[in-house]
Amino acid sequence: MVCNADEGEPGTFKDRVVFTEVPDLLFEGMTVAGYAVGASEGIVYLRAEYEYLLPGLLEVLDRRRRLGLLGRNICGKEGFDFDVRIQMGAGSYVCGEESSLLESAEGRRGAPRTRPPFPVTRGYRNQPTALNNAETLCCAARILAKGADWFAAQGTRDSTGTKLLSVSGDCARPGTYEVEFGLSVNKLLALVGADEAAAVQVGGPSGTCVAPKDFGRKICYEDLSTGGSVMVFGPGRDMLEVVRDFTEFFAEESCGWCAPCRVGTEVLLRMLDEIRDGRGTQDHLYRMMQLGDTVKACSRCGLGQTAVNPFLTTLRNMRDIYTERLSAHEYVPRLDLKKAVAFSEELAGHRSEVKEE
């Protein structure tokens, strides 16, 4: 029974709240899940940056052992053995992907495994492994306490229950919010004090960038799916710069295993830079879309499959951020003559007679 507490998606900090405010709920959820699937070993894979939470969590685990809530014969129930240990993460974004997390937890390079087999068949040390997010396990504990009907009565038909959202960015009241699934972006923005929002990134960089015309959309699996990250961008933000930064993040975090993600994210970044510098053309957008589609379709894991989302979703929802920066010319050379001859001019002691176009 593994709890994914890697929480690496930029803009997500909801698990931190779980660990600081209701750690017992999480461990209870893990224990319940362990009982359900017949696991005796639980591992929390904790984000490296949360190392400062470790002493407190270890204390909670110790207390739960003393109370008979972990260990042998839990709550006096013969044969109900379950204990939890905490595995510190090693700091890579892709380790939030389940099979990379398992690789890392086993002490290897954090890179995805070939799937199938999936972790439920062969996971941690080749054992069948249930792997869930910290928030999911908290839900499990609450469902057992309050009943499935109570849980299902909240949210929407396809997304029952509540969702923890980590809201950050240009808003008056950033923080972690527990909301019912189905909440519209508009309502959320009112809640957090962001009436002026020009764009909202739902689900972190790998999610969807929502423009004001779509603020009526709902946060739930059947519409705007999110792991919890919600970033608000005010009217002063340069969204192309935001997309560029997100893309750079993914290029940086790509594990390098598969070609489309490794090369595709990097090439996309270069072309975004060309557009930013006014050297892009319509052809750029066309080719970048083809590139995005390929990286999305063919990459080996969720990182590559979503790494192009910042570009693809903004190209759909706010195309202006690109078109307004395109060159007026149909063709723009990659050669920057002035830069390209600078060294030779210095060496020769005279200027090139060939003019800039």
Which residues make up the interface to another protein (CB under 8 A)? 92, 109, 114, 116, 251-260, 262-267, 270-271, 274, 287, 290-291, 293-294, 297-300, 330-331, 333-335, 337, 339-345, 347-350, 352-354, 357
CB of 131 to another protein, least distance (A): 20
Closest C-alpha among 234, 166, 174 to residue 200: 234
Nearer to another protein, 36 or 337 (CB): 337
Residues with Cβ within 8 Å of residue 23, at least 6 apart in sequence: 56, 57, 60
Given the complex with another protein, which of 59 and 252 has the nearer CB atom? 252
Question: What are the strands of the beta sheet with 83-88, ordered from one edge?
Answer: 83-88, 41-46, 2-5, 131-133
Shortest distance, position 93 Cβ to another protein, whole Å? 10
Rounded least distance, CB 341 to another protein, Å = 5
In this complex, which beta carbon is closest to another protein, that of residue 179 or of residue 258? 258
- Rank residues 234 and 302 by Cβ distance to another protein and give the closer one: 302
Query: In the structure encoding, which two tokens stand for residue 117, read together?
Result: 């087999």
Extract the tokens encoding 98: 């389940």
Residues in contact with 147: Cβ distance below 8 Å, sequence separation at least 6, in sequence order = none
**Cβ of residue 9: shortest distance to another protein, in angstroms?**
17
Q: Are 80 and 73 in contact (CB under 8 A)?
A: yes
Q: How far is the CB of 97 from another protein (least distance, A)?
A: 14
Cβ at position 218, least distance to another protein in Å: 26
| Least Cβ distance, residue 268 to another protein (angstroms) | 10
Contact 96, 105 (CB under 8 A): no
Nearer to another protein, 39 or 332 (CB): 332
Smaller CB distance to another protein: residue 83 or 274? 274
Contact 302, 100 (CB under 8 A): no
Q: Nearest distance from residue 311's CB to another protein, in Å?
A: 15
How far apart, in whole angstroms, are the C-alpha atoms of residue 265 and residue 248? 8
C-beta of 78 vs 357, nearer to another protein? 357
Phi-psi region of 181 (alpha: psi -120 to 50; beta: other; left: phi over 0): beta
- Name all contacts of 58-66 with Cβ < 8 Å and 24+ positions apart: 58/86, 60/23, 60/24, 60/27, 61/27, 61/86, 64/24, 64/27
CB 306 within 8 A of CB 297: no
Instruction: Provide, rounded to whole angstroms, the least separation between the CB of residue 7 and another protein.
Output: 19
Element holding 16 (H helix, E strand): helix 14-21
Nearest to 285 by CA among 321, 255, 239: 321
Nearer to another protein, 92 or 317 (CB): 92
Whole-angstrom distance, CA of residue 239 vs CA of residue 318: 9
Token pair in block for residue 102: 């398992």
Query: Rounded to whole angstroms, how far apart are CA atoms 311 and 177?
Result: 27
- Is 170 or 253 the residue whose CB approaches another protein more closely? 253
